[in-house]
Amino acid sequence: MTKLTLRNCAQDNITVLENEFIDHYMLKANGEYVKVYLLVLRHLGESSGKLSISEMADVLECTEKDVLRALKYWKKQGILDYSEAYSESSRENSRDSIPKEAPSPQRETMRRPSRDDKDFKELLFVAEQYLGKTLSATDVDTITYFFDSLEMSADLIEYLIEYCVENGHKSMHYIRAVALSWDSQNIRTVEEAKANTVQYHKNYYSVLKAYGIGGRAPASSEIAYIRKWSEEYGFSLDIILEACSRTMSAIHQPNFEYTDSILKNWQAKNVRHLKDIEAVDADFQKAKEQRAVSREKSVKVNRPNKFNNFSGRSYDMDDLERRLIQQ
């Protein structure tokens, strides 16, 4: 298991964060990176000084690769240092990242030399041509993120933008989602990206097959849905096919909108693997049973008494006793 060995002289129950970080580093950093930095800083004060990458990923509800990418980003900024070691005995050849210290941030480390790079400037010009607009500061920051943090080449970023625009997507949010998807699949060249596109074509027909559709190519609207599930939601094919199967079981006909609602719900519940769906199903069943119990209790409380239709009578007991005596 990958471990973090942390050391800090901070007092117990106190996490010290310098204003320099807030004023000059936090504003330009990706929000997820800030979370990782704060979590690392938080655990520097623990006596054990050890925290696994997987534990950090669980706490932050992200992948281990996301955590490592954040650590690498802060190392580039010069405010977090760690060593990298590779274990040949590990079955997955996992990487151990050991932050040694978090020195006081230095303003000069904020330089982004890649922004001044000729290739990068040309890339921004090409991006404006594809997107048909002048890039905003946020757009430039996003492309810089591709260039610096994801370490994508200028050629790959250019193809990324071209690929998204040709498929009808000029939103930088969408382009970023595709970039993260490629990064998670370790796509580093234009050739690998094009090969991935071929794989998408195979996915289209796998989805149609799951719906029981054959003998035709997918429609453009159907392709848009499948790309959305893969690129925007970030789901693998096995999860998409499971949603298709559930659609057929529920309504007995192909329906991309219905499948989209299933996948959107799974995305909201942070489903990443098939085993996560089992946990979502268990929570749903539990909530369903609780609702049934609540309804049953409500019915019992509000159920009318069969004697409620008769009006009640009142008696004067003293008068009755007097009449009996007279008789």
Residue 67 pLDDT class (50, 70, 90 cuts) = confident
Mean pLDDT of 29-55: 74
Rg, Å, the chain Cα set = 30
Instruction: Please check the confidence at residue 100 and state whether its pLDDT lies above 50.
Output: no
Within 10 angstroms of residue 25's Cβ, the number of other Cβ atoms is 21
Q: Which CATH number fits domain 3-107: 1.10.150, 1.10.10, 1.10.287, 1.10.12?
A: 1.10.10
Instruction: Please check the confidence at residue 324 and state whether its pLDDT lies above 70.
Output: no
The residues spanned by each domain of the chain are 3-107, 114-268
> What CA–CA distances, in Å, run from 169 to 172, 211, 219?
8, 26, 17
Residue 97 confidence (pLDDT): 42
Each residue's pLDDT tens digit, 35-45: 888 888 777 65
Instruction: Please check the confidence at residue 229 and state whether its pLDDT lies above 90.
Output: yes
Whole-model pTM: value is 0.41
Angle at 36 between CA 58 and CA 278, to 5 degrees: 20
Residue 247 pLDDT class (50, 70, 90 cuts) = very high
Each residue's pLDDT tens digit, 155-188: 999 999 998 898 788 989 889 988 988 888 888 9
Q: Is 33 helix (H, G, I), strand (E, B) or coil?
A: helix
Distance CA 182, CA 224 (A): 18
Q: 29-33, 136-140, 287-291, 311-315 — which is least confidently predicted?
A: 311-315
Distance CA 212, CA 162 (A): 33
Residue 43 confidence (pLDDT): 74
Each residue's pLDDT tens digit, 187-198: 899 999 888 777
